[in-house]
Structure 1
């Protein structure tokens, strides 16, 4: 449908979401040639995050007038040196033709808070869960750059419900089949079990369409 075409829209995304973005391109939903990715894991270095994000947006603007940014909000950009500066400020500075999907983090792009609550009840009996997307598995060494076993022990074991990967691209089945030892080593490093929960990408599509409609009115 013409109303949902992204052909004249550029997508600038955190590399952590590249699996989902490329899946939507492969199925024809994201019918654009203008895809730009920042390196995964930059939420740990917000100076580099802002630098790479603005660079990629500037590149995108040279190919299209309108840009949709696939980045979370308050959980992806936490500026300890300037606490009042937020992701929305970076996006607003890029102009009215740049919009960002309405989500606080990448997990929220794939499932709502209610859906994650229900999944946690189903798989973890309501215990605290460490949520991930497939990108957190594939790009582990970038997402958790600088984390040693001690830091892992401080963060993961408190999530007594284990780790749940919201998988809308079938990545985890392939990963566990092709590299079972790597999967087990990952779980051992975290000190908690990891399991996949298969989802659709319908919520993600909806968030993209929402910004598409807004930006086309500009």
Structure 2
């Protein structure tokens, strides 16, 4: 049986991946760059794909820095106005809380995370949350999940990571932790060969956790 669960956030607990892309797309459109969604999806595991495409289109670094701030404004607008709930998440967390301790390990910035959870109840099930500002090296480096283990006082063997991207999966594998990958339309074409489990929804986690 697993005693601890470390959740990724975007695409696992809230449906935000596509809206982040839309924010990048809107920002780049302001300088006449059309963001290639297929390429973005293929390469999002590396991070920074939107800006890579911008540079290839001849956009200078000062403009890219400005567009990052524009992207952030658009993203928070989407977070406040779009339906980003994933059906059954709160109910599943309430059930899992009877059996395990849980935390969130996300690459989200603190400002975005706070907007998302201003009127939601997910944080109440968690021992703590680690956002991008809380560790030095981001996924796919193992540091985020190793930091989560340390904060929980957990062993790798007793812990399960829940992810939706190959970037997050690589982070969990590098940290030596079993990882369940939950289906997400936006990341479904990525390589999940190293996953310990593939699940269609979080409701399947209870059986995995109790089986160990």
TM-score bucket of the superposed structures, by smaller chain: 0.3 to 0.5
**TM-score, with length taken from structure 2:** 0.35
**More relative contact order in 1 or in 2 (CA 8 Å, sep 6+)?**
2
**TM-score, with length taken from structure 1:** 0.34
